[in-house]
């Protein structure tokens, strides 16, 4: 639903740079803590470089116009309760915040007392993530990876029928900025008699988009495809770090495990589904001859998100030389084969309960072209086409000290562009 | 460590049947709620048919001898905090409880005021389960299943090197007694052009043993194999319900997903690792020619658990005819290829953090003989060797109204036998 909060002419009394990811039309939600503070976090939104502390806003009566349950949820230490209230509640909170921070707001002075500069804040995980599910919704990614491992049969017969997904690890989801240690694990050379145990030699990133579940369904109940977006609270960026050599040796027959669960980085600000309303794309792309989705996956209004995504790298040598990060990949989320609505409806189709705060990731987002590939495995084609960085460095896989930065941005004629901020992680040098 | 709490001559002032799973030598931990009560649960132990409410014991000062942190943890609504305190804490609590409930206890009268009959209690999940991991630690099960799907190559090359595991779904873990709905899902006939969507026709149980994590490790740190049992709080029984037809169609390339995550039933009483000390078995069985475990999986003292397991079935017709349940399977947990210590060390070997209350299941426990198989898939050999029940009914897979009951019991010369109680679940008739 497009409303006054999406009006491109709207301005906040807080100045924002024209290129900021966080104009008044965004109003993402996250959880922060003052750097000088010990203890739990506070729910907040962000305008430009200012954090607007919603727990402080609640305490000072600024959320008095909002429903009591919504205001109370803003006083929690994570977004789970607010998520559980459903889309109408998050839309209502969005409108309340918009009125508070817009130019000419009667509450400017009171709002200013709840502000905090982003530089002095530590961002925390936005919610307690009960379960994390990773899908595999890019047909280009599935085809790329499949053609490396099964040249004759790159795409498995179930791919265009089943939104393939698997369970990830919730405990090792970390927020942007947290260092990542190079994992140890078993790997096996094709020629070796047995495996060896040591640090991965094939560390990779995966560019993904994550969806947080809002309203939950009870165990044993399903979610109809046309109701699925009622359960979609908002999106973030996800880097699903992967150890390709560990993965190759361990993944049969039950799927990836230690190759993935050492770390998954997410961006701290959840861009709500409401903020993304102007940036919907047509249904996920289908090619001629692709099967019609089965009825439980066929939406009357099956839309994706038109979200431009980029991956940047900054190596130790680049940092030492004062060089800026270099772009590795640039793609678009609307090229996915399955939409989040389909992933949600599929996930609950057997009665599995999705809880508020659960995270569903899209799987690696890759386009058709080389520069649109969302992992180094694909960009350097399993090491056979090394990537050359602007400073002459070569990458087949990630090296210690490499920092990967994911970015996402939505823009459309007639609307103010909004963005996701960064999802950043550096491979620790001590590993 | 064997101590006075394992003394077979010890008796409680509470009478227990000789065949009870819960003599004073057991003292399992769980969370119950009075049936007439609304709200959260209370931590308790069980002796015979009596629940000893440890939160009430704490309130009335009965735990005053215990460390303050231990007593406080007994006042929580789940076992996570107690688990986080580590093995020394659970051993200490065990000794405190033992002194309170033994015959001749000075506190008999006060303890009796904290008792509650099991029949009037509703058992809840014993802990908040952050992540659930399912292993595949029975080489017999892996060989059985492999030989159905890959007759030429039943056991994959990684099996004897890697404790194969994958992430399960935490949200759909339910406690014994909760009905299970037959899940819908995509299945594909070999001859059909495309899949169809409907209720599974191949619903199955899986007999497993679960381990709850006690002390946690921080992200980025590992757990040495000889320290692994310090992180093992206790065991329960697990029925990892499975839809074999959904599994066959969905599981490539990322593993089982909707075939498993509609429900996983656990027994409500956690038998602590301390209670199981007398029932340790030699290291998991290795056959001639099996490789030595890699150093990170090689324990100086690599012991399993000698735990007899049984699966029983009671169909609707058996219930209507007043017939007792019939035994489907009888096996032993000491036949596993990998120990829980190895599974824990492997799980954390890449720096993955295991949190207090996380559940690790063993995978289906199958022995070598037909009657030792831990799933109906194996017992009826994919439907080709139907199982005949005593009343003449035939089962290839589970039918609506079937109830599956898992039992586990430890016994050894010189020690009082202890048991796990039941892990029970019925396929709802309404599905």
pLDDT digits (tens, 9 = 90+) for A371-416: 999 999 999 999 999 999 999 999 999 999 999 999 999 999 999 9
Name the pTM for this structure.
0.97
Q: Once rounded to an integer, what is the mean pLDDT over residues A252-281? A: 97
**pLDDT value at position B95?**
97
Determine whether B107 is an active site residue.
Answer: no
Residue showing tokens 């490790």: B217
SS3 A303: coil
Q: Which of B6, B42, B141, B231 is catalytic?
A: B141
Q: Is the pLDDT of residue B391 over 90?
A: yes
Chain B hits for A255, CB-CB cut-off 8 Å, are 166, 251, 253-256
SS3 A88: helix
Distance from the A111 Cα atom to the nearest Cα atom in chain B, whole angstroms: 37
- Listed residue (A429, A137, A94) closest to A286, CA to CA: A137
Q: Once rounded to an integer, what is the mean pLDDT over residues B77-83? A: 98
Q: Which residues make Cβ contacts (< 8 Å) with residue A242, sequence separation at least 6?
A: A203, A204, A205, A206, A256, A259, A260, A375, A377
Chain B hits for A219, CB-CB cut-off 8 Å, are 171-172, 174, 263
In A131-214, which residue ranges form alpha helices assigned H by DSSP?
139-149
How many cross-chain Cβ pairs, A to B, lie less than 8 Å apart? 178
**pLDDT value at position A302?**
76
**pLDDT value at position B285?**
65
| Dist. CA A347–CA A236, nearest whole Å | 19
Q: Is the pLDDT of residue A9 over 70?
A: yes
The complex's ipTM? 0.97
Q: Contact A350/A124 with Cβ under 8 angstroms?
A: no
DSSP state of B128: -
SS3 A92: helix
Q: Does A147 touch chain B (CB under 8 A)?
A: no
| Dist. CA A111–CA A60, nearest whole Å | 9
Q: Which residue has the higher pLDDT, A302 or B44?
A: B44
B341 phi, psi to nearest 5 deg: -60, -40
Q: Once rounded to an integer, what is the mean pLDDT over residues A30-35? A: 95
Q: At B431, is the pLDDT very low, low, confident or very high (cuts 50, 70, 90)?
A: very low
Q: At B104, is the pLDDT very low, low, confident or very high (cuts 50, 70, 90)?
A: very high
CB-nearest partner of A131 from B171, B220, B222: B171
Q: Where are the beta strands (DSSP E) in A23-180?
A: 29-34, 42-47, 50-53, 115-117, 121-124, 132-135, 165-167, 173-175
Which tens digit of pLDDT belongs to each residue from A85-119?
A: 999 999 999 999 999 999 999 999 999 999 999 99
**pLDDT value at position A430?**
62
Among B residues 39-58, those touching chain A with beta carbons less than 8 Å apart = none
Chain B hits for A136, CB-CB cut-off 8 Å, are 254
User: Cβ B158–A355 below 8 Å, yes or no?
Assistant: no
Q: Contact B106/B14 with Cβ under 8 angstroms?
A: no
Q: Contact A400/A429 with Cβ under 8 angstroms?
A: yes
User: Cβ B166–A254 below 8 Å, yes or no?
Assistant: yes
């Amino acid at each position: 639903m497009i409303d006054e909060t999406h009006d491109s002419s709207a301005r906040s009394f807080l100045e924002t740079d024209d290129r900021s990811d966080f104009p008044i039309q965004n109003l993402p939600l996250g959880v922060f803590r003052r750097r000088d503070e010990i203890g739990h976090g506070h729910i907040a939104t962000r305008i430009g470089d200012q954090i607007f502390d919603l727990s402080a806003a609640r305490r000072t009566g600024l959320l008095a116009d909002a429903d009591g349950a919504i205001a109370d949820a803003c006083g929690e230490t994570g977004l789970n309760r607010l998520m559980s209230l459903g889309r109408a509640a998050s839309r209502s909170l969005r409108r309340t915040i918009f009125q508070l921070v817009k130019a000419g707001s009667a509450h400017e002075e009171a709002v200013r007392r709840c502000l905090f500069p982003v530089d002095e804040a530590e961002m925390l995980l936005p919610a307690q993530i009960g379960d994390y599910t990773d899908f595999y919704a890019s047909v280009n990614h599935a085809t790329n990876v499949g053609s490396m491992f099964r040249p004759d049969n790159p795409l498995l017969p179930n791919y265009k029928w089943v939104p393939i997904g698997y369970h990830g690890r919730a405990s090792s989801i970390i927020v942007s900025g947290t260092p990542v240690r190079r994992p140890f694990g078993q790997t096996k050379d094709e020629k070796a008699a047995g495996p060896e145990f040591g640090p991965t030699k094939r560390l990779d990133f995966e560019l993904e988009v994550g969806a947080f579940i809002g309203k939950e369904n009870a165990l044993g109940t399903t979610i109809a495809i046309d109701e699925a977006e009622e359960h979609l609270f908002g999106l973030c960026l996800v880097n699903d770090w992967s150890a390709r050599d560990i993965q190759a040796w361990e993944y049969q027959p039950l799927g990836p495990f230690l190759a993935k669960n050492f770390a998954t980085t997410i961006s701290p600000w959840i861009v709500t589904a409401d903020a993304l309303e102007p940036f919907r794309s047509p249904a996920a792309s289908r090619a001629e001859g692709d099967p019609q989705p089965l009825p439980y996956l066929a939406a009357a209004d099956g839309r994706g998100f038109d979200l431009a995504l980029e991956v940047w790298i900054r190596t130790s040598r680049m940092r030492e030389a004062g060089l800026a990060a270099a772009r590795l990949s640039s793609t678009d989320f609307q090229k996915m084969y399955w939409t989040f609505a389909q992933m949600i409806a599929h996930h609950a189709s057997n009665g599995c309960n999705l809880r508020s705060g659960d995270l569903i990731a899209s799987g690696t987002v890759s386009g058709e072209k080389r520069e649109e590939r969302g992992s180094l495995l694909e960009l350097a084609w399993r090491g056979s086409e090394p990537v050359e960085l602007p400073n002459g460095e070569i990458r087949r896989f990630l090296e210690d000290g490499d920092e990967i930065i994911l970015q996402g941005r939505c823009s459309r004629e007639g609307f103010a562009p909004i963005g996701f901020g960064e999802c950043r992680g550096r491979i620790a040098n001590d590993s």
